[in-house]
Amino acid sequence: MEIINPIPVELNLNELQEKLHMKPGKQWAQVLQLVESAAPLIEAKVVYKTCYIEEKYTDGVQLDGIRLTSPVLGKKLAESVRVFPYVLTIGPKLEEEEKNFTEYIQQYCLDIIGNVALITARRSFEEQLKKKYKLEKMARLGPGSLKAWPIHEQKPLFSIIGDVESAIGVTLNESFLMIPRKSISGIYFPTEIPFEACQLCPREDCPSRRAPFDARQAAEYEPKDTDH
């Protein structure tokens, strides 16, 4: 188990402005004040593990004696040897601060600030992985991001990593959602072929889309009719 704490986070104001759909003016000036007060509350950290794939299946892989079940993992990791399961969070303080505001616009802005901080921390972690393990290209997948890797797979993923709560303070609730809310989890893996989970997701209005939907590729992971 490896821990990076803290992960430096410098918010990209242009990215934040774009996600808020705001132009320079009085309202944006108020957002900048929120950014200034939010920055000290962001405590980004990550726990991850270097794992070698022990078994490969058409519907998943086995890491450290624990099986992860997903046809996407089975296919995308077919040529992989080493992978990096991880859990990353910006901590609970910003989320707690959000509750202190009564106006929806302030709560919304703080929520988006948290999202941008989480993305920024994840990018930083990815670059550190690439540098440390001399990897040129990587892709990632997370439980719950696709139907083909359901949210309940969080439990075996956490088990593979170890005591995530003691390491960075992240737990799972009974619905397998992470607490604090501004947390992400998944597996990074080396790849020569660029891949984003968005390619398999048909949701059209997703504000976080990073790649166009690929219907042909997504169809490969649809349940097959076994009736005769």
Question: Model confidence over 95-145: pLDDT tens digits?
Answer: 999 999 999 999 999 999 999 999 999 999 999 999 999 999 999 999 998
- Reply yes or no on whether the pLDDT at 199 is more than 70: no
Task: Decide yes or no: CATH 3.40.50.300 for domain 2-194.
Answer: no
pLDDT of residue 214: 58
Domain boundaries, the chain: 2-194
Q: How confident is the model at residue 51 (pLDDT cuts 50, 70, 90)?
A: very high
By three-state DSSP, how is residue 205 classified?
A: coil
Model-level pTM?
0.86
Q: Give the Cα separation of 150 and 68 in Å (integer).
A: 10
Q: Quick count: other Cβ atoms within 10 Å of Cβ 100?
A: 9
Q: Give the Cα separation of 107 and 121 in Å (integer).
A: 21
Residue with structure tokens 């990076």?
4
The two structure tokens encoding residue 115:
């999202």
Q: Give the Cα separation of 176 and 183 in Å (integer).
A: 12
Residue with structure tokens 């439980």?
143
Distances (CA, A) of 197 to 44, 76, 93, 140, 202: 23, 11, 29, 8, 10
